[in-house]
Amino acid sequence: PPTARSIALLLAATPTVQDAQPGVLHQLLEFSHRYTAQVLSDALVYAEHAGRSGKIDQDDITLAVQARVGWEFGGRIPKEYMLSLATQTNTTPLPSVPEVFGVRLP
């Protein structure tokens, strides 16, 4: 497959890797497939939470990758990125509460 060829070329182009067993290529293929599937699955959950069922944005994928890196590799999502997302989300005003809905509290 083209993905296997790309990974093999990356291994061959890395000067610190002089020789690798054939199983390494299969492990890297499996890891890349599993990682990509999990990131896209997480991005879909973020999109559904944002009210965009079935439509993934670049921001969803970025957040999924950063969250997965933080969870798997011990890093954290940068505070500045979370603040920019919060600022962008908070610019949209909340809908007004209708006058005839339920009990009105002071």
| H helices present in 21-106, as ranges | 22-49, 58-73, 79-90
Distance separating alpha carbons of residues 84 and 90, to the nearest angstrom: 10
With contact defined as beta carbons under 8 Å apart, do 61 and 35 qualify? Answer: no
pLDDT by residue for the chain (106 residues), tens digit each?
788 888 888 888 888 877 778 788 889 889 889 989 999 999 999 999 988 888 899 999 999 998 887 666 666 778 898 899 899 999 999 888 777 767 767 6
- Considering the segment(s) 2-90 as one domain, its CATH architecture is Orthogonal Bundle (1.10)
Sorted by where each begins, the domain ranges of the chain are: 2-90
Distance separating alpha carbons of residues 95 and 23, to the nearest angstrom: 56
